[in-house]
Amino acid sequence: MLEDDRDHGNHWKLSYGKQIALEETVRNLHEQVACLLCECNAKDKLMAEHAKTAQEANSARERAEALVAIQKQELENELQQKEAAIERLVHLNAALKNCRWELSSTKMKQDQKLMIEMAHVRLESKYIEAKKKLANLTVENARLTKALHKKDETIKDVHDQISNTTTKFNALMSRLDPAERGNNLFKHKVRGRYADMANRQQLETERQKLRLLVRKRAPGHPKANPKSRFKSVDTRISFMIKQLSEVEQENKILKESVCKRDDEIHSLKAELAEMRCDEQNNGNNIMNLMTDHFENLNLTNFGLEHQLSASKVQLKEAIQEISFLEMELEDKSHRCKRLEATCLELQLQLTSKDMVTENLDQEEKLLENGMKITAELTDKKSTNNSSLHDLITADDGVDWEVLLNRPMIKELINVTETEQRYMVVPRALPIVPIKKRCKHIELLRRLLFRGNKKKLLGFAA
């Protein structure tokens, strides 16, 4: 019994624990179900909101599609009008190109005329300068001829002096030869006298030696003999001294004459050398002066002839160009009158076209709102696709390369570039005076640079 009671108690404890665990799991399940219900309610609300937004988007899309269909029809009509306007613009562009070309040609010709006038003025100034140079050169030529005459006279005087000096030189040479001969004779005599003097001195020394020997060896009367001997010797010595003094005087005279002759010879040689140097210098100076003068004359004459021929040719060409330009100016004046008439007609046509383009711009602005709505709807579906109307109507973000690569714009450019000259026939217009030509040209310039790129691109699209 005790064991049964124990088993029953354990079983009850186990069942009670299972009930508690089951209750906890049930509570957790209730909490999870409540959370799921809350999430389902939130999702239902989101679904309802999404359905409302989808309905609103569908209604807006249907409205936009209806507007787009209406606007497409309007665009087709406007495109037809634009094509007609583009054709007119092509013709007007051709006419404007012709006008520009004619205006540029007239400007070029006027500039050429001004350049030719300036060249004519320059040539006249050069011709006047050439005349002045000719006058100065004639004066210089006269002065040089006078200087040449003076130099010729000096050359004649120099030749006369050279002839006189040559005669004097020949006379001096004729005097020099006998003087040199006499000098040689005197030198020979002096050498002989010097030899005699040397021999006499040797003889005196030998005599004195002999005298001493005689004194030592003489016998007999030593007093009487020496006196007689001394007397004879003294007489001889005195005679020899006289002869020596005479010979010395003659030698002195001969030396003085030889020195004088040497001085004369040296002076004559120096004069001859100076005369030769003067002759050479005078000859060289005369030849240099003559050659320089002839070269200067030849150069001046050649330069003057060349300048005169060139100035004559330039004057002839300038006169021909002036006559040709006068004829061209007359033609250009007639063309300018015609261009003024065509410009006035083009001005009237351009003013009418500006009014048409302004109306088209207003219509395009009305279309921009519808295009923006369609762009927003298409961006939600696909972000990569871009509409043609956005590229056309965007004011700030225009894709210029895409627009310029369009076939319509290429045809327009090719037509404007390759089309032949289109001459506009002037109609009945009021006559404009010639004094107002500058004002009309300014109006033409303003009209030519007045076009807007965005308007032209809108027409081309």
Q: How distant, in Å, are the alpha carbons of 115, 130, 328, 330, 332 from that of 321?
A: 11, 22, 10, 14, 16
Structure confidence at residue 175 (pLDDT): 74
Backbone angles phi, psi at 265, to 5 degrees: -65, -45
Boundary (domain end) residue, out of 283, 308, 336: 283
Read off the tokens for 254.
């001969």
What is the reported pTM?
Answer: 0.26
Tell whether 191 and 278 lie within a shared domain.
yes
**Residue that has been written with the tokens 């383009």 in this structure:** 357
Q: Which residue segment(s) compose the domain that 41 sits in?
A: 1-53
CA distance 140 to 134: 10
Q: What is the pLDDT of residues 107-152, one digit of tens each?
A: 888 888 888 888 888 888 888 887 888 888 888 878 888 887 887 8
**338 contacts: CB under 8 Å, gap ≥ 6:** 426
Read off the tokens for 142.
């006269």
Whether the CB-CB separation of 455 and 82 falls below 8 Å is answered with: no
Tell whether 171 and 251 lie within a shared domain.
yes
Tell whether 219 and 89 lie within a shared domain.
no
**Residue that has been written with the tokens 């790129």 in this structure:** 453
Q: Is 213 exposed, middle or buried (0-12, 13-18, 19+ CB in 10 A)?
A: exposed
Tell whether 87 and 49 lie within a shared domain.
no
Read off the tokens for 92.
């007007």
**Residue that has been written with the tokens 């076009």 in this structure:** 451
Tell whether 359 and 440 lie within a shared domain.
yes
Tell whether 90 and 170 lie within a shared domain.
no
Closest by Cα among 447, 253, 241, 240 to 351: 447
CB 99: neighbour CB atoms within 10 A? 18
Closest by Cα among 208, 195, 160, 184 to 262: 184
Closest by Cα among 77, 28, 128 to 360: 77
Residue 135 belongs to some domain of the structure: no
Residue 303 belongs to some domain of the structure: no
Q: How distant, in Å, are the alpha carbons of 93, 168, 190 from that of 183?
A: 121, 22, 10
Residues of the chain with pLDDT under 50: 1-2, 220-224, 380-400, 403, 408, 412-413, 415-439, 451-461
Read off the tokens for 94.
């051709």
Q: Is 173 exposed, middle or buried (0-12, 13-18, 19+ CB in 10 A)?
A: exposed
Structure confidence at residue 200 (pLDDT): 76
Strand, coil or helix: 42? helix
Residue 376 belongs to some domain of the structure: yes
Tell whether 268 and 348 lie within a shared domain.
no
DSSP 8-state class, residue 275: H
Closest by Cα among 239, 255, 248 to 203: 239
Q: How many domains does the chain have?
A: 3
Structure confidence at residue 419 (pLDDT): 41
Q: How distant, in Å, are the alpha carbons of 155, 284, 321 from that of 158?
A: 5, 12, 60
Tell whether 87 and 33 lie within a shared domain.
no
Closest by Cα among 88, 86, 117, 167 to 456: 86
Tell whether 362 and 255 lie within a shared domain.
no
CA distance 90 to 404: 16
Residue 331 belongs to some domain of the structure: yes
CA distance 350 to 85: 11
Boundary (domain end) residue, out of 268, 283, 298: 283
User: What radius of gyration, in Å, describes the C-alpha atoms of the chain?
Assistant: 70
Structure confidence at residue 107 (pLDDT): 85
Structure confidence at residue 300 (pLDDT): 65
Tell whether 371 and 441 lie within a shared domain.
yes
Tell whether 108 and 167 lie within a shared domain.
no
Residue 186 belongs to some domain of the structure: yes
Type of residue at 231: K
Residue 297 belongs to some domain of the structure: no
**For the residues of 193-212, what is the DSSP string, one character each?**
HHHHHHHHHHHHHHHHHHHH
Residue 74 belongs to some domain of the structure: no
34 CB-side CA count, 13 A:
6
Boundary (domain end) residue, out of 258, 283, 308: 283
Whether the CB-CB separation of 172 and 272 falls below 8 Å is answered with: yes
CA distance 225 to 449: 161
DSSP 8-state class, residue 387: -
What is the biggest distance separating any 2 CA atoms in the chain, rounded to whole angstroms?
233
Backbone angles phi, psi at 421, to 5 degrees: -65, 130
Residue 59 belongs to some domain of the structure: no
Whether the CB-CB separation of 258 and 186 falls below 8 Å is answered with: yes
Whether the CB-CB separation of 406 and 384 falls below 8 Å is answered with: no
Tell whether 15 and 89 lie within a shared domain.
no
Structure confidence at residue 432 (pLDDT): 43
